[in-house]
Amino acid sequence: NAGVMQNPRHLVRRRGQEARLRCSPMKGHSHVYWYRQLPEEGLKFMVYLQKENIIDESGMPKERFSAEFPKEGPSILRIQQVVRGDSAAYFCASSRPPVKGYQETQYFGPGTRLLVL
């Protein structure tokens, strides 16, 4: 049973370019979360999606960042016109839908390390 897959693992972009980060959840998981980890910091929540639906985007910057989780295919985190401050590790997590009234465990992928030159 493959875990959460993220690609690319490393991504280098010049200022002003676009970055596309992909996340394939574990089999049977329909919920996806994106987190960002800046150097020497903990992870910060960005967005929570279900298939074709954004549930919570309270952690997303208002501009240049967007996320989607289509009916088919991976979830995509898109950063337009990247700046040096976007350099970070971006982690995706997935979970099953909640059952029995309990929150399901979030399983994390290996992350995409974005470097903006």
Partner 1 sequence: AQSVTQLDSQVPVFEEAPVELRCNYSSSVSVYLFWYVQYPNQGLQLLLKYLSGSTLVKGINGFEAEFNKSQTSFHLRKPSVHISDTAEYFCAVSEGLGNEKLTFGTGTRLTIIP
Going by C-alpha positions, the residue among 117, 113, 104 that lies closest to residue 32 is: 104
Q: Of 71 and 100, which has the nearer Cβ to partner 1?
A: 100
Does residue 1 interact with partner 1 by CB under 8 A?
A: no
Q: How far apart are CA 3 and CA 98, in angstroms?
A: 19
Going by C-alpha positions, the residue among 117, 111, 34 that lies closest to residue 82 is: 117
Does residue 110 interact with partner 1 by CB under 8 A?
A: yes
Does residue 36 interact with partner 1 by CB under 8 A?
A: no
Site map for partner 1, 39-58, x if CB under 8 A? Answer: --xxxxx--x-------x-x
Does residue 109 interact with partner 1 by CB under 8 A?
A: yes
Q: How far apart are CA 65 and CA 82, in angstroms?
A: 9
> Which tokens belong to 94?
């997935």
DSSP state for residue 99 in the 8-state scheme: B
**Interaction site with partner 1 (CB under 8 A):** 4, 6, 31, 33, 35, 41-45, 48, 56, 58-59, 91, 93, 95, 98, 101-103, 105-111
